[in-house]
Structure 1
Amino acid sequence: MLTLLLFANLSIALAQKKERNLKVKNEVKWFTDARFGMFIHWTPLGAVNQEIGWSWGRELAAADYQKMCKEWNPTKFDADEWVRIAKNAGMKYIVFVPKHHDGFSLWDTKATDFNIMNTPYAQDVCKQLSEACEKQGIIFCTYYSIADLHQNEWSKMCWVEDTVFEPVKGGMDAYLEFVKKQCAELIQKYHTKNFWFDGFWHSEWYDNPKYRKELSDYLKSLDANIIMSRLQMPSKPVGGQWDDGWDFEKNVGDYHSREDHGGKEWENLYYKGPWEFCSSVAYPNYSYNSNMKFKTAKELIQTMVKIAGRNGNYLLDMAPRPDGSVDDTQKRLFSEIGDWMKTYGETIYQTEGGPYLPLKGDFVSTRKNNKIYLHLLSGQTSITLPAFDNKILSAKIFQTAAKVKFKKENGKFIFAVPANYKNENDLIIELTIKGAAADIALME
C-alpha cells in the first residue's frame, strides 16, 4: 500500500466559498449511489501469516510462495456466503482481488498457467463470485494489479520509492497485451463493472502515459459503462511519498481513490467529485493473518459516515481464511454494521456530502432530495452552523418524532438536541427543507 502525500488541487480548502459538488457521469452514478462496498483479499499465504504479494522474495522465497499457490485447495470456499455477508452488511458492491502483485490468477485465464485451475482446487473462483453477486443483487467489481511478479520473473515487488526497477519481461508493449487480455476476460466472462487498479508505479508504466490511455480506451471499447481508477500517478515520488488520488478529470479514470495509511490525514479533505477510501477491518492487514487486530464496529461505522460526509465511498476489506471460511469476528463486525445500516442507511445511500464541510472529524453532513442529515459523532448536545437561504420545514432526530429546536441568529443556525437522545455511533438530525439540498453551496 502507498504512502500519503496530499495535493491541494484534489480537495477544496475548507475556507473556499460557493463551491458545489461536481456532476456525476451517468456510468458512475451506481457507484456514488452505493457508498459502501466490500474489498476481498484472499490468498493461501495466510497459512503462514504472510501478506498477499508483498511477502514474495521477502518473508518467503519466490519458489516457496509459488508452491503454496500451486498446492492450494480451499475446500471451505462458499461464494454465496461471502456475498451474503456483504449484502447483510449493507454493502452494494464487491471489489474482489483475482490477481494481486504475485500474478496468481483466481480465474480460468488463458493468459497464464499460474492460475487457480492448475491447483488441487481447480475451480473458477471469479465465476462463482460473479454468479453469486448477480443472484444476490450485488455489483461485481475487480481489483487488478498492473505489476506481476510471476509474469515478469521479478525477485520481489518494488516499493513505490524505488528508483531502480527490475525490467518488464519482453518490454512494456508486449506486457500491455498480456494485461489487456486478462482484463478483457474479466469483462467478457465475469462482467466486472469496475477496475480497481494497483501496482502502477513501475517507471516503464508511469513514465509513458500512452500505456494507461491505451488500456483505458481498450476497456471502454469493450464496455462503454466500465469505470476504473488508479491507472496513473500524477508525479514521481517526492521524498519517498506518493499521492493516492489524482485529478481523474484531466487524466485517465472515473473516480479518485485513497488508501488508509493508519493516520487521519483524510479527515482534512473534501472531494467535490466521486472518490473512494479503502481500509480493512484489521488494518494494516488486508489478507488473512491469525494475529489480526480488529477495529470495533463503532470505529468502522463512524469511518463510513465520515467518508460519506466527505462525498465519498467506503471500501471495507474482508480477509477470508486460506481454506475459504470467514472467522467469527469478521462475521460479527459486518453483521453489526449491517444492523446499523438497516436503520440509518437512508442517510448514507444515494447521498452526497455537504452542504457543510467536515469539522474536526466529529461532525459531517449528507444530503439528498430535500433532506439534509447532520451527523453528530461525539455526543454533542448542540451544534452551531452557517445558515443557508432555504427554509427549514422541519428538524427532528432521524427515525423518531422527536423535534429538534433551532433558531437563526447572526447568520447561524443553532440546533439543540432534545434531552435523553443519544446514539453511541452517530446521532442524526434530519432537516427537511424547501428546495433541493444539492443546490446549496458548500459551507464551512
Structure 2
Amino acid sequence: MAEIVGGKPLAQLQQEFLDMRFGMFIHFNIPTFSTQDWADPQMSPEVFNPELLDCNQWAEVAASANMQYACLTTKHHSGFCIWDTETTDYSVMNSPLKRDVVKEYADAFRKKGLKIGLYYSILDTHHNIRAGWIKKESVEFIKRQLTELLTNYGDISILVIDGWDAWWSRISYEDVPFEEIYNYIKSLQPNCLIAEHNAGKYPDSELFYTDIKHYEQNAGQLISKETNNLPAASGYPINANWFWKESFPTDSVKSAESLVYNNLIPLNEAHCNFILNVAPNRDGLIDDNVVAEFKKIGKLWQYPGKAPKLEIDKQPIITTNLAKGRPMDSSWSFDTRISDFANDDDFTTAWVSYDTVEEPYIEVLLDENTSVCAIGFAELDDVEFYDKAGHTRIGNYVITYFVNGEWKELKVEPQNSFVRIHRLLSEIKASKVRVTFHNCKRGLAISELLVY
C-alpha cells in the first residue's frame, strides 16, 4: 500500500487535481519531426529545430480555453530529452535549438497562473530501457532523470508516466521496481501526483500502481461516467494523432461543442479531469485552427470552481502482488483454466471452477512467514466469457491463511465488486493464502488472486 511521505494528504491532492478540471496535454518532442508518433530512436538531434518556438503562445492558448494546468512530454519512447540534462547527449542541448524547452514551458505557464505537469516515458528505446536490457544501471538512469525534472523546475503538480507495465513495452513493475520509483518521486516532491498510464490493463475499481486513474480515450480506454468513484484523468487529442503531422494545419479538429458537452462537463461530473492534447508544429507553435477552436472552448465553458467531492478515499497499491508467479493450488477446475491463470498478472485470463464443485477454493503458496498486509481477488468481468458482463458469480467467501502448521480465518467485511481487496489492520505472517467460495453460481472465474 502507498505511504504518504510528507506533504499534503493524498486525498487532498487528488481532490485538488480534480478541482483543476481541465488541462492541456502538449505532445512536443523529436516525433514532431517524424512522420510517426513513435520516432526512430536513432533519429539525429539535428532534426529538432523549432525556429519560432514560443511557449508563451502555448500558455496563452491554454488560458484562452480556461484551462488550469498543462503537461509536457519531456521524454517520449524514443528517449530524446527536451531539457538540459546531464544524463545523456541525446537531448535538445545537442540540437540546433540548444534551449531548455521544459524550463521555457514551466516559466511561461506559471506566468499565466497555470499549474505544471510533466510526462515521462519509462520505455526508452534509444537508451535500451526495454525488455531484455534492463539492469540496475537502467533504474539509476531513470532516477537521475527524474531528479533533474523534479528539482530544477519548481513545483510539479502531476507526473504522467507511460511505457511501463504495458503489453507493448513489456517492462514489468519488477523490472523497473514501481515501489522504489514511486517512493523516490515522493521523496523529491511529496505533493506531486503520479498518473501511471495503465488503465488499459488494470480494473477500474482500485488504484493499481497510480495516484490518478489515467485513461487514453482514443485508445479505447473509456471511463464509466455512471459508476466511477476514483480520481481520474482522460486524455484526448484535438487532432487525429498525439504528435504533429503535416496535414494538421488544414485537417478538421474536434469541435469545441463536442469537447465541452460530450467530454469536459460529463467527465468532470464523474470525478475525472479532462486533459486535451495539442501538438505544436515544427516551428514550435500551435496551429491557427487549433488556436481558434480553443478560443471557442473558452466562450462555451467558464471555469466553475471546485469539482464534485470524492466520496471514497482509496490508497493506491504500489507493491508487487506476492501471488504473482507463485505455485498455485485449487479445487477441481477446467483443464484449460487451471489455478495458475489466476496469478499470471493478466486480468483477462482466469481460473474457472468446475461446475459440480460446491465450495471451490483457490490458494497460493508463499515463502515461510511471508509478511502480508492485504488480501483479495479479482473476478473475471468479460462479456465474451460470461453471458453478461457485470454479473458476479460470487455468493459468500472466506479468506484463510496458513501459519505455524494451521489454517486461520481472517475476519473481513464481505465486499461486492469485481475487485475485492481487504486491507488488514495489522500485518500477518503466512506461508499460504486461500479463498473459499460459498453459494457461488456456476462458471465462477477468478482472474487474479491478490496478496500484498
Compute the TM-score of the two structures, normalised by the length of structure 2: 0.60
Task: Report the Cα distance in structure 2 between the residues aligned to 1:259 and 1:47, rounded to whole angstroms.
Answer: 23
Task: Report the Cα distance in structure 1 between the residues aligned to 2:226 and 2:139, rounded to whole angstroms.
Answer: 34
The residue aligned with 2:339 is none
Aligned residue type for 2:162? D
Counterparts in 2 of 1:100-115, with a 5 A limit? Answer: 100-115=76-91
Distance 1:28 1:267, change over 3 A: closer
Distance 1:244 1:151, change over 3 A: farther
Aligned-pair CA distance for 1:50: 2.5
Counterparts in 2 of 1:232-381, with a 5 A limit? Answer: 242-243=201-202, 247-248=206-207, 251-261=208-218, 265-267=222-224, 269-283=226-240, 285-292=241-248, 293-302=252-261, 303-342=263-302, 345-346=303-304, 349-352=305-308
Task: Report the Cα distance in structure 2 between the residues aligned to 1:84 and 1:121, rounded to whole angstroms.
Answer: 22
Task: Report the Cα distance in structure 1 between the residues aligned to 2:153 and 2:97, rounded to whole angstroms.
Answer: 19
Task: Report the Cα distance in structure 1 between the residues aligned to 2:135 and 2:220, rounded to whole angstroms.
Answer: 35
- 1:88 corresponds to which of 57, 64, 68: 64
SS in 1 for 2:218: coil
Aligned-pair CA distance for 1:204: 6.7
The residue aligned with 1:174 is 137
**Unpaired stretches in structure 1, ≥5 consecutive residues:** 1-22, 57-61, 155-164, 234-240, 356-444
Aligned residue type for 2:259? L
Query: Is contact 2:27–2:72 with CA below 8 Å preserved after alignment?
Result: yes
**Unpaired stretches in structure 2, ≥5 consecutive residues:** 1-8, 312-452
The residue aligned with 2:164 is 200
Compute the TM-score of the two structures, normalised by the length of structure 1: 0.62
Query: Is structure 2 residue 53 aligned with structure 1 residue 77?
Result: yes
SS in 2 for 1:257: strand
Query: Is contact 2:212–2:232 with CA below 8 Å preserved after alignment?
Result: yes
Distance 1:204 1:301, change over 3 A: closer
Aligned-pair CA distance for 1:264: 8.5
Distance 1:148 1:265, change over 3 A: closer
- 1:220 corresponds to which of 186, 191, 197: 186
Query: Is contact 1:97–1:142 with CA below 8 Å preserved after alignment?
Result: yes
The residue aligned with 2:374 is none
Aligned-pair CA distance for 1:43: 3.2
Paired residues, number:
296
Query: Is contact 1:257–1:277 with CA below 8 Å preserved after alignment?
Result: yes
SS in 1 for 2:117: strand
- 2:115 corresponds to which of 129, 139, 149: 139
Task: Report the Cα distance in structure 2 between the residues aligned to 1:304 and 1:185, rounded to whole angstroms.
Answer: 33
> C-alpha deviations, 1:153-189, integer Å up to 9, x for none?
87xxxxxxxxxx4x22xx3422111111111111100
Task: Report the Cα distance in structure 2 between the residues aligned to 1:153 and 1:242, rounded to whole angstroms.
Answer: 21
SS in 1 for 2:177: helix
Distance 1:247 1:337, change over 3 A: same
Task: Report the Cα distance in structure 1 between the residues aligned to 2:129 and 2:202, rounded to whole angstroms.
Answer: 28
The share of aligned pairs that are identical, in percent, is 27
Task: Report the Cα distance in structure 2 between the residues aligned to 1:245 and 1:209, rounded to whole angstroms.
Answer: 24
Task: Report the Cα distance in structure 2 between the residues aligned to 1:222 and 1:264, rounded to whole angstroms.
Answer: 30
More strand by share: 2
Q: Which deviates more from structure 2 when the two are superposed, residues 26-35 or residues 175-184?
A: 26-35
> C-alpha deviations, 1:8-48, integer Å up to 9, x for none?
xxxxxxxxxxxxxxx97122332111010100001354455
Aligned-pair CA distance for 1:266: 3.3
Aligned-pair CA distance for 1:311: 1.6
Aligned-pair CA distance for 1:88: 1.5
Distance 1:216 1:280, change over 3 A: same
Distance 1:110 1:47, change over 3 A: closer
Distance 1:195 1:48, change over 3 A: closer
Task: Report the Cα distance in structure 2 between the residues aligned to 1:332 and 1:117, rounded to whole angstroms.
Answer: 32
Distance 1:262 1:145, change over 3 A: closer
Query: Is contact 2:83–2:101 with CA below 8 Å preserved after alignment?
Result: yes
> C-alpha deviations, 1:110-129, integer Å up to 9, x for none?
11110001111100001111
Query: Is contact 2:21–2:268 with CA below 8 Å preserved after alignment?
Result: yes
Distance 1:44 1:216, change over 3 A: closer
More helix by share: 1
Aligned-pair CA distance for 1:209: 7.9
Query: Is structure 2 residue 151 aligned with structure 1 residue 188?
Result: yes
- 1:39 corresponds to which of 15, 25, 37: 25
Distance 1:189 1:153, change over 3 A: closer
The residue aligned with 1:120 is 96
Task: Report the Cα distance in structure 1 between the residues aligned to 2:298 and 2:11, rounded to whole angstroms.
Answer: 28
Distance 1:49 1:276, change over 3 A: same
> C-alpha deviations, 1:56-79, integer Å up to 9, x for none?
3xxxxx54xx12x33322111111
SS in 2 for 1:113: coil
Aligned-pair CA distance for 1:353: 7.3
Task: Report the Cα distance in structure 1 between the residues aligned to 2:90 and 2:226, rounded to whole angstroms.
Answer: 41
> C-alpha deviations, 1:367-395, integer Å up to 9, x for none?
xxxxxxxxxxxxxxxxxxxxxxxxxxxxx
Query: Is contact 1:45–1:322 with CA below 8 Å preserved after alignment?
Result: no
Query: Is contact 2:160–2:194 with CA below 8 Å preserved after alignment?
Result: yes
Query: Is structure 2 residue 121 aligned with structure 1 residue 152?
Result: no
SS in 2 for 1:182: helix
Distance 1:34 1:265, change over 3 A: closer
The residue aligned with 1:161 is none
Task: Report the Cα distance in structure 1 between the residues aligned to 2:141 and 2:273, rounded to whole angstroms.
Answer: 31
> C-alpha deviations, 1:96-150, integer Å up to 9, x for none?
1010001000000111110001111100001111111221111111010000011
Distance 1:333 1:327, change over 3 A: same
